[in-house]
């Protein structure tokens, strides 16, 4: 990762963040599988009310954070190209000149 401009300490920190978010994501999925997308709770008037399971929002937030970490660390195709873009452009230019003779 250092070759991509990411320092070792930053990489470890991002790895730790990824692990935390991944754990949140998996925990939320397990909660949703066990309890469903909606849960029934007692409303203000004492009657049962159907609400979205809070794990649904947790899962969505964790997924968003995971994708951001992936982008920031250059692990998505687009972010990898952005990080390595100039090197790839140089390589493409050299290849183009070679093929043209």
Structural domain boundaries of the chain?
A: 2-100
Residue 36 token pair:
């469903």
Name the pTM for this structure. 0.67
Give the 3-state secondary structure of residue 73: coil
Q: Which one is predicted more confidently, 14 or 64? A: 64
Region 41-70 average pLDDT? 94
From the number of C-beta atoms within 10 Å of its C-beta (0-12, 13-18, 19+), residue 61 rates as: middle
Cα–Cα distance for residue pair 6/31, rounded to 1 Å: 35
Q: Are 1 and 73 in contact (CB under 8 A)?
A: yes
The pLDDT of residue 77 is 74
Q: Which residues pair with 91 in a beta bridge?
A: none
């Amino acid at each position: 990762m250092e070759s991509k401009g990411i320092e070792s300490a930053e990489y470890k920190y991002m790895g730790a963040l990824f692990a935390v978010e991944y754990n949140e994501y998996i925990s939320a999925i397990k909660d949703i599988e066990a309890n469903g997308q909606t849960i029934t709770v007692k409303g203000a008037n004492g009657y049962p009310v159907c609400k979205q399971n809070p794990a649904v929002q947790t899962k969505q937030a964790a997924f968003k954070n995971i994708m951001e970490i992936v982008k920031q660390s250059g692990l998505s195709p687009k972010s990898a190209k952005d990080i390595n873009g100039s090197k790839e452009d140089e390589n493409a230019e050299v290849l183009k000149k070679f093929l043209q003779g």
